[in-house]
Amino acid sequence: MPAPAPLDRNPLPGTAQSKSPAPQGSPSEIRDDEQFCSQLEDRELLSGPNRRLRDLQLLYGVAKDFILGFRSLHFVGPCITVFGSARFAEDHPYYKLARDMGAAIAKMGFTVLTGGGPGIMEAANRGAKDVGGRSVGCNIRLPFEQSHNPYLDRWVTMEHFFVRKTLLIKYSYGFIIMPGGFGTMDEMFEALTLIQTKKLKNFPIVIMGAEFWPEMRHFMEHMLKGATISAEDLDLIKWTDSVDEAIAHLQEKAVSQFGLRRHRVPQSNPLLGEKALEGSH
């Protein structure tokens, strides 16, 4: 019996394959979709095989993102990253909680690092600036939204979500998880997975916003009962709405555990175009 023919994706540009099915939607919808996709390198990178030269170009774009991020964030000092939704306005209780948390983190001597956008990210960065602390953002370039917030001493804008997520983890000694959507869930479970698999040291993870998380907490307990995680995996998380409790946890699990010194920052070299964050010495 002959083997079935392999399924194929849309033909690569310039290849001699049969025509792909006509796209669905009105001409204006198709045009808008093409315009949107043309501005997203990730869309092309993740769409399957490209021509070899194009894949090499896309790989160079990934390396460029990493190098830009390394050069921008290497001298900002030890960070605590705050994750959370971009959709909360400044009068929302979670915005106020994130702002208080950002201020408390800065008072510890840490740099507050966020995704650099609005909502929870803005609140944490704003809290750091309220008390004269250091505030940094790692933003993402999107075609129709997401510009950096005005409370940043330094920011870098990435093309690729996965590069941005790596940088938000790379420079941090702890993570504050505020209420959020799919992106926040992705960032939280990425950090948990890296710690669980020993790819990352046991950095503290604090989850705040008790009214938002009961189903998630119950589901984690369900995973424990189903033996898909271990009891020690849940010990990685501190659940609290108290800024004081969160800071005490960071003090024990980040500062004391890793012997961090206040305002420890690598020395920059102006000859290499490197620039320390103002106020970080």
CATH number at residue 227: 3.40.50.450
Contact 268, 274 (CB under 8 A): yes
Q: Looking at mean pLDDT, say which of 76-80, 240-244, 256-260 comes out highest.
A: 240-244
* Residue 258 forms part of a structural domain: yes
- Cα 17 to chain centroid distance, Å, stands at 39
Nearest to 187, CA basis, from 207, 201, 159, 202: 207
* Residue 24 forms part of a structural domain: no
Distance CA 197, CA 112 (A): 26
Mean pLDDT over each residue of the chain, to the nearest integer: 85
Does the pLDDT value for residue 210 go beyond 50?
A: yes
Per residue in 54-86, pLDDT tens? 999 999 999 999 999 999 999 898 999 999 999
* Residue 218 forms part of a structural domain: yes
Domain that holds residue 184: 65-263
Distance CA 95, CA 113 (A): 16
Which amino acid, one-letter code, is at 122? Answer: E
Looking at the structure of the chain, the number of domains it has is: 1
Which phi and psi (to 5°) does residue 49 adopt?
A: -65, 135
Q: How many CA atoms lie within 13 A of 11 on its CB side?
A: 10
Across the range 224-229, mean pLDDT stands at 96
Q: Which residues contact 200 (CB under 8 A, 6 or more apart)?
A: 169, 191, 194
* Residue 279 forms part of a structural domain: no
Does the pLDDT value for residue 125 go beyond 70?
A: yes
* Residue 45 forms part of a structural domain: no
* Residue 109 forms part of a structural domain: yes
* Residue 86 forms part of a structural domain: yes
Structure confidence at residue 15 (pLDDT): 43
Across the range 242-267, mean pLDDT stands at 80
CA torsion angle 206 185 94 248 (round to 10)? 10
* Residue 88 forms part of a structural domain: yes
Contact 236, 196 (CB under 8 A): yes
